[in-house]
Structure formats: structure tokens, C-alpha cells
Amino acid sequence: APLHSLGGDTWERVKRKAAEKVRDAAAELLGLHAQRAARSGAELRADPALYAQFAASFRFEETPDQHTAIEAVLADMAAPAPMDRVVCGDVGFGKTEVALRAAFVAALAGRQVAVLVPTTLLAQQHWQNFRDRMADWPIRIEALTRFQSRGDALTALQRLACGEIDIIIGTHRLLQADVRFDRLGLVIVDEEHRFGVRHKEQLKRLRAEVDLLTLTATPIPRTLNMAMMGMRDLSIIATPPSQRLAVKTVITPVGRGADPRSVSTRTGARRTVFYFLHNEVDSIERMQRELAE
């Protein structure tokens, strides 16, 4: 962007236009949230016995915070007003299971679920996780990504519009004008900080009365501010799974100490994920080869 003199007319004009855009966006968001608050939600509930069976199939023990978040989400979904809850927790703390429980309840209640993710890779991962977790249930799950052929995407869109898909998982593709839902009841947004404001509000505008569940490890200031103002509900998952080891940060000069095998020996980890930071683009491929050797 060009630089303008602070005392010049151009700067004043640019500043005035920016302020007008901020006011317009804020008014639009407030109007949408007021509209949602004034409407009645679907009051989504699942058969207690069926839900208990699905919950029992979870292979891990729920952490206290995870259990609290799940209960809060289910209570919101059963309430008359549309849900608008943010679940905040670190990576691996169990946010996906919260989303799975919510999606299961919505699907059994006869409503469609849209899962919005920022990348195609994450869409594929969620698609596989949802299919694996709900393999024993008559819930139809599909993905909508750029990896699909035009024919497959068109078929998925037709089935979605006819109500033949219960859970659809996709990227920004879900926000395009040709995407039509038959009975959308729940929208799940993962990693919301990687979406623009209008992206998320555009999906909610499809049906102002839908329940909205947002998952994030790094909540944006706008989300936190709206939660503090009471415009959005907030659940925090701060307790890690019981078997999860603490993250260890190792700072060492290049050499033997930077060898992943030696770090793995010191940490005692059988399977370790490393983030190796290298600050020179020109030599990054050489460093990659050295680490591979």
C-alpha cells in the first residue's frame, strides 16, 4: 500500500473510507447476530441410548474439560436459540471429538452438518476420521474438495441438495453459490483463524437459525472479544489427555545435537515429531538432505 503524508488530504480520505468500511462490517455482524438471537433453533437432540452407545465407542478417556465442552455443546443444541459456541484447545486436546459428538446428534436428529476447514488436506483427514468414527452408523458422509473430478463434485452437490448427504466436509468450496442444503442444522468451522470474517458469516447467512460450532487452537481477538461481550459462548479445553507427554523444546547448535536421532534418545520418545527451523531459503534444501542422511 502507498504511504501518505499524515497531514495531507489523501490520508484523510483513505482513513475516512477505512472507518466507513469498519462501521459497515460491524453493523452487518451485529445485525446478523441479533437476527440469530431472535430466531428459534431446531432444538437438536439424539436418542439417549443411541448417543450413549456412540459415546462409549470413543477409544480414549474424556478429559474433564473435554467432557464439560461436550455437555455444553449438547445443551446448546437442545436449547431453543441457535448455538454459537467456540471450543478453544491446543492441538491434540480433543476438539475433534467434540465436533464428532455434535455432528452425530445433528445427523440423528435429521439435520445436515457442514464442516468447513481451511485446507484440502485437513478436509481429507476429517473425512476419514468422521467415516471411521461413524462406520457403524447409517450416516452418509461426503467430502467436497478440489481433488474431486467435476462429475463427482456435481453428484455430491445434487445429493446434498436432495438431502442424501448427512455430513459434508469441505473447504471454501462449501461457500460457493452452487452449494445448496436440504435441511442444514449445524455448521462446524475448524481453525477459524484461517478464514476471513465474511467467509464464516456467509455460511451462517445460508440459514440464520443454524447452530454454529467453532474449533480453534489460536482464537482471534475478534472471537475472544465477542465471547467476553456475551455474543458467543466459549468452552476452553485446557487439560491434555492423560497419556500425552509434555512438549519439549530443544535449542542446540548445528551438529550432533541437531540430529533427530540424538534428540529422540534424550527425550526417550519412540515416535517424535520435529519442527526444524532453518532461516535461509537458499540453503534449506541442503539442510533437508543433511537431516535425511
| pLDDT tens-digit series, residues 45-85 | 999 999 999 999 999 899 999 999 999 999 999 998 888 89
pTM of the prediction? Answer: 0.74
For residue 31, the model assigns a pLDDT of 74
Start-to-end CA distance of the chain, whole Å, equals 44
User: pLDDT category, 12, cuts 50, 70, 90?
Assistant: confident
CA angle in degrees (0–180, nearest 5) for 132-93-246: 125
CA angle in degrees (0–180, nearest 5) for 158-163-167: 95
- pLDDT of 91 above 70: yes
- pLDDT of 263 above 60: no
Find the mean pLDDT for residues 28-36: 70
Cα 155 to Cα 169: distance, rounded to the nearest angstrom: 15
User: pLDDT category, 124, cuts 50, 70, 90?
Assistant: very high
- pLDDT of 208 above 70: no
Of 75, 33, 76, 83, nearest to 231 (Cα)?
33
- pLDDT of 135 above 90: yes
**Inter-residue contact 104 to 115 (CB < 8 Å):** no
Superfamily of domain 48-237: P-loop containing nucleotide triphosphate hydrolases (3.40.50.300)
User: pLDDT category, 204, cuts 50, 70, 90?
Assistant: low
User: pLDDT category, 164, cuts 50, 70, 90?
Assistant: very high
- pLDDT of 162 above 80: yes
- pLDDT of 287 above 70: yes
For residue 168, the model assigns a pLDDT of 97
For residue 41, the model assigns a pLDDT of 65
Cα 216 to Cα 236: distance, rounded to the nearest angstrom: 10
- pLDDT of 134 above 90: yes
**Bridge partners of 212?**
84, 187
